[in-house]
Chain A
Amino acid sequence: MKGMSIIVKKVSQLIAGIIFLYGIYIVLHGHLTPGGGFAGGAILAGAFILIVLAFGTDIIHLKHDEERASLFEGLGLLAFILLAILGFIIGIKVFFNNYLPKGQLGELVSAGLIPLYNIAVGIEVCAALFTIFLALVIYKEEISK
């Protein structure tokens, strides 16, 4: 896959970082404002997809990227379920128990485990959407050969 013109490359270089930051903001404030793990993860994936579209890489790199993305997908899921399973051991010993201190309402660090779940979901969704995108790109590259 070839890259695009210099204008597109420069603009997406400038914008991708801001999109990434905004995605992190949405994920971290999931328990306070609209959005959360899924929405933020989708925005994070948008930043990656923009870079790949603007710059383009060869197919070997794409396959390498896909492997790493699906690794992070699994890690995000595993982190989520391990956080939930820890509820079996800590506190009142129930699955999905929110065992961390709840904190002050409206603070960034509050609501116990919910922000951690959001981060895990954010990683998972970002990696999954990026993997789907890469799978489609790789398929198209292989067809065109």
Chain B
Amino acid sequence: MYKLIPLPVILPLVAAFLIAIVGKRFKRLAKILSVLVFLSTAVLSYWYMVAGNQETMLYKIGGWEPINDIPIGVYMLLDPFSGFMLCIINTIALLSTVYSVNYITKFTGVNYFYTLLSIMVAGLNGVVLAGDLFNLYVFLEITVISSYALVAFGTDKEELEASLKYQVLGGIATSLILFSIGMIYWYTKTLNMMDITRVLHASGDVKLIQFCQLMLIAGFGLKAAIMPFHGWLPDAHSSAPSPISAMLSGVVIKAAGLYVIFRLFFNMFELNFEISVLITAIGTLSMVVGVFLAIGQWDLKRLLAYHSISQMGYVIIGVGMGMIILSRQGSLAAASLAITGGLFHLVNHAVFKGLLFLNAGAIEYRLGTRDLKKMGGLAEKMPLTAATSLGASMAISGIPPFNGFFSKLIIIIAAIQARFYILAALAVLVSIITLASFMKFQRYAFFNGKISASRVNISEVPPFMAFSMTIMALLCLALSLLLIPDLREHVLQPAVDILTGRNAYFINLLNK
């Protein structure tokens, strides 16, 4: 495995450039090549998860060995937490690509679509594998710049406006991130995350670093669309092509936003009570306000996009509670439970929100509208879409036996154990409102009376789209199995242990 660590970045890049060069000559190359590449990266990440004991590996690019224990090369870091994220990224990418085999026929410029999608996945894989701050920034930019282009892929007025908004806010986030990376580099004289941890640990509490932490929260908060920074998300996620919405909502805001926040604040910086409370507070804010904004929406994809903000809030309060408990030296078991809940909800959200966006795409593919008021009676015409979206809706609203129920349950149990009673109550309340808004979606889209006369001819979606949706619906059920202690200890627990290992984990990594 050690030698193969860069492959999740290289393979999608090679695919992207090959498609750009010879895609015009061979019409089917783009579709086949990108599916094969994402399949192989997905298999690679599963292999890491199941084979061996998920050891932590540092890959030195170019073979530059450290001199006097000071790392001079660019490092890639593969540990259970990045492996966990790699699995999510490549699975959703694979299913979205299979889905778009049929879906993308609506658009022109198919080759550009696959090129940009491959570059985006390469960037995402790079973000979770990056071992130093500057490479993390570069891969982040690769991801978001290709997603700006993908959001504008329809090139209508609405899409271009959404893309422009995304670019402006993304540009602000980027400058905040780059500025704070610059400040950290100026203070610590190094960019390697492990080395920065070592320097910061030796120097103790510094005001400059706290300033950088706040800017990083704002910057990555913008990428993750946490509540005060969420302005771009509903437009961007609703106007992108549906497989891209699934990628943006399911993966990009997690890998490019939340993953980095968790990684930096748990492992790189010293855990700090005030910052933990701040992160949990904005998580709570996005959880509560997001769902209230969502319930009034009549545009299906906007409704789903606002729910992404709200569900990200669950992930953040789960992990944020763990941060608070750890930072005031509380019990490790309670912190571990809260973080488990957060990460479990992260993977669950990737699957059910991805599926919901694919369902929305299926409805749009057949009906050409995203307005809930113009739908109705689709249950008999599109039984598979109706069934899978019912599963996903139940998962997101937290109804057993779907996966969303169990992750929300763990978060609420952890909140009660750690005596965050208000957070637990809010989580239950938000879950109920989520259920209400998805009942609205189900009723207006699938069950509301008879289908209108002009739409009697519509049929179920083509096979590749149906295939992706079915697999995702099965995953919604299968991921509940992660609750079983044996599976949990193998999949979730190593990732949680990385986070609860705090910055001692990074310091020990370099001394090994």
Q: Which residues of B contact A73 (CB under 8 A)?
A: 20
- A94–B62 Cα gap in the complex (Å)? 6
| Stretch of B10-18, B77-85, B269-277, B466-474 on the interface side | B10-18
Q: Which of B10, B14, B20 contacts A95 (CB 8 A)?
A: B10
Tell me the complex Cα distance, A73–B62, Å: 25
Instruction: Report how far A98 CA is from B59 CA in the complex, Å.
Output: 16
Q: Is there an interface contact between B62 and A95, defined as CB atoms closer than 8 Å?
A: yes
A74 & B21 in contact (Cβ 8 Å cutoff):
yes
Which residue of the partner chain B has the closest CB to A96?
B62
B165 CB-CB contact with A under 8 Å: no
Q: Which chain B positions have C-beta within 8 A of A87?
A: 62
B61 near A96: Cβ-Cβ < 8 Å: yes
How far, in whole Å, are A84 and B61 apart by their CA atoms in the complex?
10
> Shortest Cβ distance from A15 into chain B, in angstroms?
32
Is residue B63 within 8 Å, beta carbon to beta carbon, of the partner chain? yes
Complex Cα distance A85/B62, Å? 11
Q: By the criterion CB–CB under 8 Å, are B3 and A75 in contact? A: no
A78: interface (CB < 8 Å) = yes
The answer to whether the Cβ of B6 comes within 8 Å of any Cβ in the partner chain is: yes
- Out of B6, B14, B17, B62, which one reaches A98, CB within 8 Å? B62
Q: Are B63 and A97 in contact (CB under 8 A)?
A: yes
Choose among A74, A85, A93 the residue that contacts B10 (Cβ–Cβ < 8 A): A85
Asked if residues B13 and A81 are in contact (CB atoms below 8 Å), the reply is: yes
The answer for the CA separation of A82 and B13 in the assembled complex, in Å, is 11
Min Cβ gap B173→A in Å is 24
Determine which of A71, A81, A94, A98 lies in contact with B60 in the assembled complex, contact meaning CB atoms within 8 Å: A94
A110 located at the interface, meaning its Cβ lies under 8 Å from any Cβ of chain B in the complex = no
Q: Which residues of B contact A116 (CB under 8 A)?
A: none
Interface residue? A70 (CB, 8 A): yes
CB-defined contacts of B10 to chain A, threshold 8 Å: 81, 84-85, 95
Query: In the assembled complex, which residues on chain B have CB atoms less than 8 Å from the CB atom of A11?
Result: none
A141 to B18, CA, bound (A): 30
A94 in contact with B20 (CB, 8 Å): no
Do A78 and B6 contact each other (CB < 8 Å), given the known contacts A95-B61, A97-B62? Answer: no
Given the known A-B contacts A70-B20, A93-B3, are A78 and B14 also in contact in the complex, defined by CB atoms under 8 Å? yes
A75 is contacted by which of B21, B60, B61 (Cβ under 8 Å)?
A: B21
0/1 string, A42-79, CB within 8 A of B gives 1: 00000000000000000000000000001101110110
- Residues A71 and B21 in contact, CB atoms below 8 Å apart: yes
A88 located at the interface, meaning its Cβ lies under 8 Å from any Cβ of chain B in the complex: yes
Chain B stretch 3-43: residues in CB contact (< 8 A) with chain A: 3, 6, 10, 13-14, 17-18, 20-21
Task: Check if A94 sits within 8 Å of B18, measured CB to CB.
Answer: no
Q: Is the CB of B17 within 8 A of A95?
A: no
Q: Which of B352-406 contact A (CB under 8 A)?
A: none
CB neighbours (8 Å) of A88 from chain B are 3
Evaluate contact between B62 and A78: CB separation under 8 angstroms. Answer: no
CA distance A73 to B20 in the complex (A): 9
Residue of B nearest to A97 (CB): B63
Contacts of B61 in A (CB 8 A): 94-96
Measured between alpha carbons, how far is A85 from B4 in the docked complex, in Å? 11
- B488: min CB distance to chain A, Å: 34
Using Cβ atoms and an 8 Å threshold, which residues of chain B touch A95?
A: 6, 10, 59, 61-62
CA of A17 to CA of B21, assembled, Å: 28
Instruction: Give A2 to B210 CA distance when docked, in angstroms.
Output: 58
A92 is an interface residue with CB less than 8 A from chain B: yes
A residues less than 8 Å from B60 (CB atoms): 94
8 more A-B residue pairs beyond the given contacts A74-B17, A78-B21, with a C-beta to C-beta distance below 8 A: A74-B21, A81-B10, A87-B62, A88-B3, A91-B63, A94-B59, A94-B63, A95-B59
13 CB contacts below 8 A, A to B, read: A73-B20, A74-B20, A77-B13, A78-B17, A78-B18, A81-B10, A91-B63, A94-B60, A94-B63, A95-B6, A95-B10, A96-B61, A96-B62
